[in-house]
Amino acid sequence: MCGIVGYVGSKDAYPILIKGLHRLEYRGYDSAGIALINPAGKLNVYKSKGKVTELEHFVEDKDTSGTTGIAHTRWATHGVPAERNAHPHRSNDGALAMVHNGIIENYLEIKADLTAKGYTFSSETDTEVLVNLIAERRKTEPDLLHAFAAALREAHGAYAVCLMCRDEPGVIYAARMSAPLIFGLGTGEHFVASDIPAFLPYTRQVIFLEDGELVR
Ligand code: GLU
């Protein structure tokens, strides 16, 4: 089991996401990471092997500004515990970042198709394959919600995913299929997480997503 936390609102996302990861540490994990869109529109991704505190040390001198972000603690299923396999994973075009819990069973077929189209992969994960499939579908379906849905129709398995796009600050996407994912409604801010404790200090209005549902 891993942990997913997503935040969109008007506050600095970084402290909220890190606190959320700490509150999900009980689930067990081998690495951690975070993605944030800074006020200039740059998508910054930081990750490290080991504990969330190690990620915090790693980003001490980095730009952690931004009010939109996603974060993850990984329990490796595809590829060893290592910084390169830690989430978030980016699409080749650098526009998308995604965190994922679970497995994509047919990722090898999808990976072969994408490789034939010129995509390259820097990790062994099924997650990096899925985020690039979304990027590929976005070429013909510019509305990211529809491209996300199209990619998920092709990906088989059990998953919870949270996605963000450099071109869409102020927006996060999430979906689930046979893996936990919860949506938290705040005032002027929203949350996504694997479990309620991640956002309990901020809201008690919770929606339990059903299998096959997407959230923007
Ligand atoms: N299958 C993904 C990976 O190996 C996600 C693992 C998880 O649930 O943390 O990176």
Residue pLDDT, tens place only, 55-113: 999 999 999 999 999 999 999 999 999 999 999 999 999 999 999 999 999 999 999 99
Instruction: Please report the atom of ligand 1 found closest to the CA of residue 102.
Output: 8
Q: What is the chain's mean pLDDT, rounded?
A: 97
- Provide the pLDDT for residue 1: 65
- Provide the pLDDT for residue 91: 98
Instruction: Please report the atom of ligand 1 found closest to the CA of residue 103.
Output: 1
CA of 214 to the centre of ligand 1 (A): 20
Question: Which of 100, 106, 161, when mutated, tests ligand 1's pocket best, judged by the most ligand atoms within 8 Å of its CB?
Answer: 100
List, for the chain, all residue ranges whose pLDDT scores fall below the cut of 70. Answer: 1
- Provide the pLDDT for residue 93: 98
pTM, rounded to two decimals? 0.97
- Provide the pLDDT for residue 86: 98
- Provide the pLDDT for residue 52: 98
- Provide the pLDDT for residue 212: 96
Question: How many C-beta atoms surround the C-beta of residue 179 within 10 A?
Answer: 21
- Provide the pLDDT for residue 2: 86
CB 83 within 8 A of CB 49: yes
Would you call 197 helix, strand, or coil by DSSP?
helix
Hey, what's the torsion of the CAs at 21, 25, 27, 28, to 10 degrees?
120
CA of 77 to the centre of ligand 1 (A): 5
Pocket of ligand 1 (CB under 6 A): 2, 74-79, 85, 100-103, 125-127
- Provide the pLDDT for residue 160: 98
User: What angle in degrees, to the nearest 10, is found between the helix axes of 126-138 and 144-154?
Assistant: 130
Would you call 145 helix, strand, or coil by DSSP?
helix
Q: Give Rg (Cα) of the chain.
A: 16
Q: Which of 208, 216, 11, 192 is nearest to 101 (CA)?
A: 192
CA of 49 to the centre of ligand 1 (A): 13
Tell me which H or E stretch contains 24: none
